[in-house]
Structure 1
Amino acid sequence: MGKMNHQCLPLFLASCLFFVSPSQTASNTSSQHHCLSDQSAHLLQLRQEFVEKRMYTKPESYSYYDYHDYYNGSYPKMKSWKADSDCCSWDGVTCDIENGEVIGLDLSNSWLYGPLNSNSSLFSLCHLQKLNLDSNNFSSSTIPPEFGQLVRLTHLNLSFSFLHGRIPSEILWLSNLVSLDLSFNYFKYNVVGDYYHYKRLDLRRIDLEALVQNMTYLRELHLGDVNISSSLPQSLANLSSLTSLTLSDCNLQGEFPTNIFLLPRIKFIDLSYNDKLAGFLPKFQSRSSLKQLHLSSTKFSGEFPNSIDNLGSLSVLDLSLTKFFGELPNSINKLKSLNYLDLYSSNFSGEIPPFIGNLSQLTHLSLSYNNFNGQLPSTLGNLAKLTHLGLSKILNYREVPPFLGNLTQLEVLSLPQNNFGCGFPIWLTNITKLRWIDFSGNQLKGKIPSEISILSHLSYLDLSQNSLTEAIPSVLFTIPSLSALFLDQNQLIVPLTFQNNSLSPLHALGLSENKMNESILRSIVNFTKLQMLQLSSINLKGKVELNNFIELKELRSLDLSEYFQNWSAISKVIGNDKSQPRYMGDDFNYYKDSMTIVNKGVELEFVKILTIFTAIDLSDNRFYGEIPDSVGNLKGLIVLNLSSNQFMSHIPSSLGNISALESLDLSQNSLFGEIPQQLTSLTFLEYLNLSQNQLFGPIPQGGQFLTFQSSSFEGNFGLCGFQLSKKCGNNEMPTSEMRHESSLGEGFCWKVVVIGYACGLVIGFLIGHVVTSRRTDWLVRNFGVNLRR
C-alpha cells in the first residue's frame, strides 16, 4: 500500500499544482497506476461469471431518439482483462489514482450473457461510483438487492439488459445517485395457451415515493417500460435538480403532475405510450430549458397554450395520438430550434398555418389525420431540411402539390388517403434521397412511371388501393434497396417473368386484386428473401402447386385466398425460428397496413402482426375434398378457419393434437361423420363453430365442449347432445345413407395437404372471418387490436 502511494505521489502533486480535478486525473492517468490486488481478483472473478455472447436482438420497445445499437460499438470488453496486468488499464475500468480502488466500471454493450446473481463479485467492488451495464443479456434475472451495498454510486445504468421482476427497495436507498437508468428491460417469453407473455421490471407506487424522498440529488431518471401501473406522486416535482425524465410505456394512470413541466432545469420529458395518463400543458415560463417533449399516445388534452413561445430551446415536440383540440397558436412560429414536430391524429383543426414554413430547422413534420381544412400552404416548400413529411388524409387536392418537389432532402413521403386523381407525379424522381413513398388509398390513374427506378435508395413503395393500369414496369424490380412493394387493389398487369439477375431484395410483396397469370408464381420463387406475400383474388387459372414456393424459406405471412393444390411443401416454405418473437417488418423498418378481422359487426384491427401469430384462414373459397389428418402436425397453430368451403370428409381426429388451438371454425362445409372425442383435449379452445355441416352422432362431452352453446352445432340435423334440443338415444343414430361421399363440383378437385409444422412455426393466411365476439377479449389481450363498430 505504501509503495503504491509513493508511486502515486508525483502525479498527485502535479494534479494539485496544475489545478486538475481528481475525476479528470482518474480518467486520464489511471492506467499508469497499479490497482489493489483484491480489486483485480474481484474483476477477474466477475469475468468468470458471464459468457461472452454477442447480442443480435434488441428489446422490442425503443424510440427513435434513444436508439441502442447492438451492432456498432459493441465488443467483449472483458476479453482484454489479463491477470498479469494492471487492472486500472483494463477496458471499461476506472481507478482512483490515490489508492488504486475501482471507482468506475463501464461494461455496456460487452456481450455479457448469464444471470446476475446476488453473490456476484460485482458487489465486492464497494467503492464503485459509476456503474454501466447497459445492453447486455442477464438471462431474465431479477435485480439483486445487493446493489444497495454500493452506497457510493452516483450513476447506475441497467437498461436494455433483459432484467425483470420487482425493483428491490434497497436500490431506492442509494441517496447519492444523480443518474438512474432502468429502462427498456422488456421482452417476451412463450407459454402454451396465452402463448406469450411480457416480462418487465415492476415498481410499486410506495417504492416510487421512496425513490423521490431519498434520491434528492437526482438529475436523470429513466424508467421507460418499467411497469408502474399507478398514478405519479405529486412529490416527483420536488426533484428540483431533474434534467431528464423518461416514463414511457409504464402503464401510468391518473393525471400527470403539471409542475414537473416547470422544473427549472428540466430539458427532456418522455411520457409516451401511457394511454391511461391524462394531463394538461401549463403556462410555460420564460427561459424554460425544455428541449424535448414526448407525449405520444397519452390522454393529454386541452388547447395548445400560447406560452409555447417561451420554449425557445425546444427541438422535439411529439403530440401524436393525443386529445388536444383547437387551432395551432401563432406562437409556434417562434420555435426557431424546432426540428421535429409530430401532430399525427391529434384532433387539431382550422387551417394549416402558413408560418409552419418559417420553421427552417424542421427535419420531421407530420400533420396526418387531423381536422385541418383549407389548402396546404405553399410555404411548406421552404422547409429545405425536411427529411420526413406525413400528410395523410388531410389534403383536398386533385394532384400532389408541386411545391413539394422543392423538398430535395426528403427521405420519407407519406400521403395516403387523400384525393389525388391524376397520375403518379414524375417530379418525385428529382428527390433522389427518397427511401419511403406511400400514396396508398388515393385515386391515382394511369401507369406507374418507369423513371421511379432512378430512386436508388427506395426501400418502401406503397401504391395500393388506387386505379393504376397497364403493366408494372419491370425496372421497378431492379431497384437495389427495395424491400417492400405493395401494389394491391389496382388494375395492373403483372409481368409474367422476372430475370434472376435483376431482382431486388423485396422482403414484402403485395400484388392482390390485380391481373396476372399463374406463371407469375414460378417467377416469384426467385424472391428468396420474401417474408410477406399477398396474392389474394388474382383469379388464377389452371393447377398451381405450392412446390413452386419451396425456396421461400424466409416466408412469415402468406395470403393466397385462392385455389392451390399439393401443400406438402409447406413445412419447407415456412421458417423455423421463434426464439425471439417480433413484429412483421421490424428488421427492415417498414410495416404494411394492419390486418383486419370482421366478426358479427365488430371490426378488429391488428395494429401490428406478431411473427408468432400462427393462423390459417382459408375461409370463403372453393376448396373441396378432404381435410387431411396431417393438419394435426401444426402444433403451434392458434387460429384455424376453413369455413364456407366445400370440404367433404370427416373431421380429422388429429386436430386434437393442436394443443395451442384457441379458435376453430369449420362451419358451412359438407363435413360428415361424428365429432371426434379427441377435440375435448383442446384445453385452450375458446371458440368453436361446426355449424351448417352434415355431422351426426353425440356431441362429445368434457373439456371446453361443456362451455359451447347450441350455435356452435346448429344446422347438423344428425347431432344430438345437451347443447341441442335433440337429446341422444339408441334410436337417434343416423344411418349410413346420411354419409356423404365426395364428388366433383364447380372448380378444381383439390385435396389440401398441410404437413410438417413444428411447434411455433409462423404462417398467416390472413384476412377473413375468423372469430366471434367471444374471441374479442383474447385478441385484445394477446395481439393488441383496435375494435371499431
Structure 2
Amino acid sequence: MKLESWLSKFTCLHCLLLLLLNDAHCFSFVQKQTQTLCHADERSFLLKFKESFTIDKSASSSPFAYPKVASWTREGDQNQSNCCLWDGVECHAESGHVIGLDLKSSCLYGSINSNNTLFRLVHLQMLDLSDNDFNSSEIPSRLGHDLSSLSYLNLSLSAFSGQIPSEISKLSKLSTLVLSYNNGLELRKSNMRILVQNLTSIKQLHLSGVGINSTVHDILVNASSLTSLKLSYCGLYGEFPIGIFHLPNLEELRLHSNIDLNGYFPNFNRTNSLKILDVSETNFSGELPSSIGNLHSLNYFDISTCSFHSHVPFSFGNLTQLSFLVMASFHDVSAGQFLDPDSFSCFGKLTKLNYLDLSDNNLQGNFPRFVANLTQLAFLALSDNSLTGEIPKSLFHLRNLECLGLSGNNLSGLVEFDEFSNLKKLKRLGLSDNRLSVRVKSGLSATLPKFEVLRLVACNLTELEFLKNQYELGSLELTDNNIHGQIPKSLWNATRETLVNLHLDDNFLTGFEDNPVTLPWKNLQLFNLGNNRLQGSLPIPPQSITSYIVRDNNYSGEVSPVFCNLNYLQVLNLANNSLSGMLPQCLGKSSSLEILHLMFNSFHGNIPPFCANKNSLKFVGLGYNQLQGKLPRSMADCTLLEFLHIGNNQISDVFPSWLGVLPVLKGLTLGSNAFHGIIGKPPTNHEFPNLCIIDLSNNLFSDMLPSKYMENWNFMKYVVANKGSQYFIVSNVNTNKYGNYYAFSYQMIIPVKGVELTYAQTPYDMRLIDFSSNRFEGEIPASIIGSLRGLQLLNLSNNTLTGHIPSSLGNLTALESLDLSQNKLSGRIPDSLAQLTFLEYFNVSYNHLWGPIPLGQQFGTFLEDSYQGNSGLCGELLSKKCEGSESLMPPPPSSFEEDEKAGFPLEFDWYVVLPGVVSGLIVGVVAGNTLANKKHEWFVETFGRRRKPTAARATRGRRT
C-alpha cells in the first residue's frame, strides 16, 4: 500500500509539472483516473430500453454489426454496473448524465413506442440508432418534445415508417439529421418548410429514400449552415432551386434518382465549396457551364442519365481533384448524333481520377487517347458506345486497373489475352459484343490476373482451358462464342467454391467431362447453357440456384422431383428439348418460382396444381406438349401471373372463366386443345382486367361470340403510345452481387390460316384476339368490336358467323391483320375498312360477300386469294370486274350455295411468307400438319443453330 500511495503521489506531481508545461495529454490521463459514475435512474432507463428489444443478427446489415447492449447489466463490479462505461454510452465528464447513445448496427429488433424509457434520457445530445430493425413502427413524436438537447440524430436504415413527426422541428439544436432509407418514411412539403425553418444550425440533412413527393421547398436556399444535403430517391419533381448551389458552406449535394426533377447548373463562383455533386438519373439539362472549372474542390461528380448538352467545356480539365467521375448516358442522343472522344480530351488533365464511367454516350471514333494519362484509374467503363478500331497497347500500362468495361462497341482486331497479364490488379473485364477475336495462348492460365467477373460474349473464343486457375471467378459470361466439346473438369475444379453466374449459352457444348449427375458449383445461382448440343438427363443444380436455363438442347428423360425442393429457384427454362414423362406434381407447390417455360417437349399427364400454396408465378409456358386433363382450379390463386400458354396440348375443359380474377394476366393462350362448350357471360364486370392477348383458336367452343367478356377488356380499347418501342417482359428475377439478372421476353406463335407467325419478342403494344376454328355462330357484335381500338390482330375465321361485316371495324385504326374467312358472312365489305392504313393482312375468303372491293391504299396490296369463294365480289384486283348496277345487288342464292359447296380445303397447307406483318417483327413462318414438323421447322426457322437469339436469352444489367 505504501508503494501504491507513493506511485500515486509521484504520478500526480509529475502530471502537475507537465500541466504547467502545457501538456494536454497528462490532463486527459488525470481525467481517466477518476471514472464518472452514471446516475442510477438513467442506468435503469437504459436497462429497460434494452429489455424492450430482442437481439436479432438479421436486424442489422453491416458486416461489423454486434449487439452492443448485450454487456449492459446492473450486476457485477463497479465497472460492469457503471453505465458510463457501457458499450455505446457516453456520459458528461462532470455531471455524469448520459449525453450520447451510439447503438448503430446493434442488432436491435422491435418497436419504439411513446412509453419507451429512451425519452427519459433528457440530457441526450447524440442519438444514433441507425442500421437496426424497428419493425415498421413510427418515429414517436415524444422524441421532439423530450430530447430537446439533441444536436445529432441518426435513424437511417432502421425500418421506420409513416410520417416524420412535425415535432422533430422542435429540436432546434440539431446540426445533423439523418433519416435516410427506411420503410416508407414520408415528409410533406409543408413539414419540410417547418423543419428547415426551425433547424437554424443544421449542417447535415440526409433524407434520401424519404417519400417527399413534391417540389423542393425554397426554404432550403436559406439554410446557410448546410454542408451536406442528401435527397436521393425522394420522388421530387418540378424545378430545383438554383440558389441551393450557392449555399456558402455546401460541400455535398446528392439528388440521385429523382427522375422528374428538373434543373440546370448555375455559373459557379471560385468560392464554391462543393466536393461531392450527384444529380444522376434526374432530368437536369442544359449546358455544362465553363464556370464548372471553378469547382476546385470537387472530387466526386455524377451526372449519368441526365439530359445535358453533349459539349464538355475545356475548363473541365481544371477539376484536378476529381477521383470519381460518372458521365454515363449524361446527355440526350439525337438520331445519328455521335460524339468524338477527342471532345473529352480535357479529361487527360484529371490525373487523380480513380473511377471513370463514360458508357452509353454514343462516342464514335478510335479509343480515346486521353485514357493513357490516367495512370491512377482503377475503374474504366466505356461500354455501349460506338468506338471503333483496335484496343491500344497503352491500355495495358494502366497498372492500377481493377475493372475494365469495353463491351457493346465496334472495336475490332485480334486481342492477345496474355496482354492482360500486365494488369495484376484486374478483377473485372468486359469485352463482350464487339467485333473482337480473343486469342488464348496455350499454357497462359498461370500468369493471368485472378478474375472475379469475366464477360467475353461473342469474342470468337474456342476453348475453356485457360480458366483452369481462376480460383476467384464469380461470374463467367462466354455466350455466343465458338466453344465446342465438353466443359472441362479443370474449370469446375477451379471455380467450385466461387462461381455464382455461368453463361455458356449459344455455343456448341455437348456436355460435361465425367458427366456429373449434380452440377459441381456449390454456390451457383444463375446457370444458362441454352442453345447448345447438350444431351442425356438434366443435371441437378445446387440448393443455391435461382435461374436454371437449358432451353434449345437435346436433353431427354423426365424432370426429377428434386427440382421441387430448390427453395430459391425462380426461373426454370427447359423449352425445346426432348424431355418426356409426367411433370412432377410437386412442381406446383414451389413458392419462389416466377418463370416456368417447358414448351416444345413431350410431357404428358395432368398439369400440376400450381399456386396451391404461396406462389410467385408470373409466366407459365406449357404449350406444344401432350398434356391432358383439365386446368387445375388452383391457378385462380396465381395472383402474379402475367402470361399463361397451354396451347397445342390435349386439354379437355370448359372455358376457364375463373381465371378472370387474375389482376395482372396479360396473355392467355388456350389454342389447339379440346376446350368446349358455351363461354356465356362473365360472373362480374371486372373479369380479365388487363388482358391484351387471347388465343382460343382450334377448340370446340360454340354458340355466340363472348361479347360480354370482350366488353370488359379495357386494355384493348386504347392504342398504346411509343408503338413498337417496348416488349412484354416478365421481369425482376433476383439479382446478385455481380449484377446479373434474367428477364424473360415473352414469345408468341400466332396461327394465321394454317401459317404460324413466330414473334421472338412480343411488342408491348400487341393487342390480339384469335377465336378462329371453333363453332361460334351468330353475328359479330358491332359496337363492342368497334370499341377495341387498340387491336392489332383479329382472327374470327373458320366459324359459322353470319350477318354483315360491321362497319365499326373501321374504328380499329391500329389493326394490322384481319381474318374473317370461312364463315357465312354476307353483304358488302364496308368502305370504312379502307381507313385502316396499318392493315397488312386481310382475308375474307369463303363467305357470302358481294359488291365492289373498297378502294384504298392498303386494299390495293391484297392478292385475289384474300377474296376467293365470294362469287358476288368484284373489283380491279379480281378477275371479275364491277360493271354497272349488277355490282350493287347481291348475287342469286344459287351462287351462295356454290360457295358453300366449294367450302375450304380441310387438308390445304399454306406455305407462304407474309412480309412485314405486324411491324416487321415476324422472324419465322412455319407450316405443317404434325407436332413434330411444327416443332422442327419452328426451331430451325426461328432460332437456327447459329442464330444470335433474342427470344429467351438472358438480359443483363449494365455491362462491366
Give TM class, smaller chain. Answer: 0.7 to 0.9
1:549 maps to which residue? 563
1:430 aligns with 2:447: yes
Cα deviation 1:351-401 (Å, max 9, x = unaligned): 543222222221111111134455444322222111111112124213336
Cα deviation 1:518-575 (Å, max 9, x = unaligned): 32x1xx215343221101111445x423436355443221111235445553636975
Which has the larger Rg?
2
The offset of 1:230, in angstroms, is: 3.2
CA contact (8 A) 1:35 1:102 kept: yes
Name the aligned partner's letter for residue 288 of structure 1.
H
* Aligned equivalents of 2:484, 2:228: Cα separation in 1: 53
The offset of 1:139, in angstroms, is: 1.1
1:353 maps to which residue? 368
The offset of 1:621, in angstroms, is: 3.3
> Among 171, 176, 182, which residue is 1:174 paired with?
171
1:452 aligns with 2:467: yes
**Secondary structure, aligned partner of 1:248:** coil
1:477 maps to which residue? 492
1:714 aligns with 2:771: yes
1:80 aligns with 2:86: no
Q: After the TM superposition, which residues 402-413 of structure 1 pair with which residues of structure 2 at under 5 Å, given as runs?
A: 403-413=419-429
* Aligned equivalents of 1:215, 1:425: Cα separation in 2: 65
1:558 maps to which residue? 572
Identity fraction in percent: 29
1:310 aligns with 2:304: no
1:291 maps to which residue? 299
Further displaced range: 694-703 or 251-260: 694-703
* Aligned equivalents of 2:678, 2:28: Cα separation in 1: 80
* Aligned equivalents of 1:678, 1:430: Cα separation in 2: 72
* Aligned equivalents of 1:653, 1:250: Cα separation in 2: 43
Distance change in 2, residues 1:640/1:347 (3 Å): closer
* Aligned equivalents of 1:20, 1:531: Cα separation in 2: 63
1:123 maps to which residue? 119
* Aligned equivalents of 2:644, 2:165: Cα separation in 1: 46
CA contact (8 A) 2:423 2:449 kept: no
CA contact (8 A) 2:329 2:359 kept: yes
Question: Greater relative contact order (Cα 8 A, min sep 6): structure 1 or 2?
Answer: 1
**Secondary structure, aligned partner of 2:483:** strand
Q: Which runs of 5+ in 2 are unaligned?
A: 1-11, 76-80, 266-287, 334-338, 596-613, 718-767, 785-799, 802-928, 934-948
**Secondary structure, aligned partner of 1:43:** helix
Further displaced range: 645-654 or 94-103: 645-654
CA contact (8 A) 1:88 1:94 kept: yes
The offset of 1:104, in angstroms, is: 0.7
CA contact (8 A) 1:269 1:293 kept: no
CA contact (8 A) 2:564 2:586 kept: no
**Secondary structure, aligned partner of 2:412:** coil
Q: After the TM superposition, which residues 717-732 of structure 1 pair with which residues of structure 2 at under 5 Å, given as runs?
A: 717-719=774-776, 724=781
Name the aligned partner's letter for residue 407 of structure 1.
L
Distance change in 2, residues 1:486/1:424 (3 Å): farther
Q: After the TM superposition, which residues 433-512 of structure 1 pair with which residues of structure 2 at under 5 Å, given as runs?
A: 433-440=450-457, 442-445=458-461, 447-478=462-493, 479-480=495-496, 481-495=498-512, 497-498=515-516, 503-512=521-530
**Secondary structure, aligned partner of 1:665:** strand
CA contact (8 A) 1:273 1:296 kept: no
Distance change in 2, residues 1:80/1:535 (3 Å): same
**Equivalenced residues, count:** 670
CA contact (8 A) 1:546 1:567 kept: no
CA contact (8 A) 1:30 1:88 kept: no
The offset of 1:262, in angstroms, is: 5.7
TM-score under structure 1 length normalisation: 0.74
* Aligned equivalents of 1:473, 1:482: Cα separation in 2: 15
1:686 aligns with 2:671: no
* Aligned equivalents of 2:932, 2:32: Cα separation in 1: 82
2:536 maps to which residue? 518
* Aligned equivalents of 2:464, 2:503: Cα separation in 1: 15
**Secondary structure, aligned partner of 1:163:** coil
Q: After the TM superposition, which residues 580-595 of structure 1 pair with which residues of structure 2 at under 5 Å, given as runs?
A: none
Distance change in 2, residues 1:337/1:171 (3 Å): farther
Distance change in 2, residues 1:142/1:346 (3 Å): farther
1:336 aligns with 2:351: yes
**Secondary structure, aligned partner of 1:506:** coil
The offset of 1:20, in angstroms, is: 9.7
CA contact (8 A) 1:628 1:652 kept: no
**Secondary structure, aligned partner of 2:50:** helix
* Aligned equivalents of 1:767, 1:630: Cα separation in 2: 34
Name the aligned partner's letter for residue 555 of structure 1.
L
Cα deviation 1:109-129 (Å, max 9, x = unaligned): 112212222332222222211
* Aligned equivalents of 1:615, 1:575: Cα separation in 2: 13
> Among 211, 217, 220, which residue is 2:204 paired with?
220
Cα deviation 1:750-776 (Å, max 9, x = unaligned): xxxxxxxxxxxxxxxx9979xxxxxxx
Q: After the TM superposition, which residues 20-99 of structure 1 pair with which residues of structure 2 at under 5 Å, given as runs?
A: 29=32, 32-55=35-58, 70=61, 72-84=63-75, 85-99=81-95
CA contact (8 A) 2:404 2:429 kept: yes
CA contact (8 A) 1:104 1:131 kept: yes
1:248 aligns with 2:232: yes
The offset of 1:634, in angstroms, is: 5.7
* Aligned equivalents of 2:477, 2:630: Cα separation in 1: 37
Distance change in 2, residues 1:422/1:42 (3 Å): closer
1:206 maps to which residue? 190
CA contact (8 A) 2:677 2:702 kept: yes
Name the aligned partner's letter for residue 180 of structure 1.
L
CA contact (8 A) 2:591 2:615 kept: no
Distance change in 2, residues 1:161/1:745 (3 Å): same
The offset of 1:649, in angstroms, is: 1.2
Further displaced range: 287-296 or 675-684: 675-684
* Aligned equivalents of 2:526, 2:45: Cα separation in 1: 50
1:101 aligns with 2:118: no
> Among 632, 642, 654, which residue is 2:645 paired with?
642
2:128 maps to which residue? 132
Distance change in 2, residues 1:257/1:629 (3 Å): same
Q: Which runs of 5+ in 1 are unaligned?
A: 1-9, 57-68, 187-199, 585-610, 733-743, 749-765, 770-782
Name the aligned partner's letter for residue 686 of structure 1.
N
Distance change in 2, residues 1:439/1:451 (3 Å): closer
Name the aligned partner's letter for residue 312 of structure 2.
F
* Aligned equivalents of 1:311, 1:528: Cα separation in 2: 50
Distance change in 2, residues 1:118/1:454 (3 Å): same
Distance change in 2, residues 1:746/1:287 (3 Å): closer
Further displaced range: 314-323 or 636-645: 636-645
Distance change in 2, residues 1:27/1:309 (3 Å): farther
**Secondary structure, aligned partner of 1:44:** helix
Distance change in 2, residues 1:324/1:267 (3 Å): farther
**Secondary structure, aligned partner of 2:253:** strand
Name the aligned partner's letter for residue 228 of structure 2.
S
CA contact (8 A) 1:221 1:246 kept: yes
Distance change in 2, residues 1:575/1:477 (3 Å): farther
Name the aligned partner's letter for residue 432 of structure 2.
P
2:624 maps to which residue? 621
* Aligned equivalents of 1:146, 1:26: Cα separation in 2: 39
CA contact (8 A) 2:215 2:240 kept: yes
**Secondary structure, aligned partner of 1:269:** strand
Cα deviation 1:402-459 (Å, max 9, x = unaligned): 544422211111122111235457757633321101112x2514x2231312110001
CA contact (8 A) 1:672 1:696 kept: no
1:741 maps to which residue? none
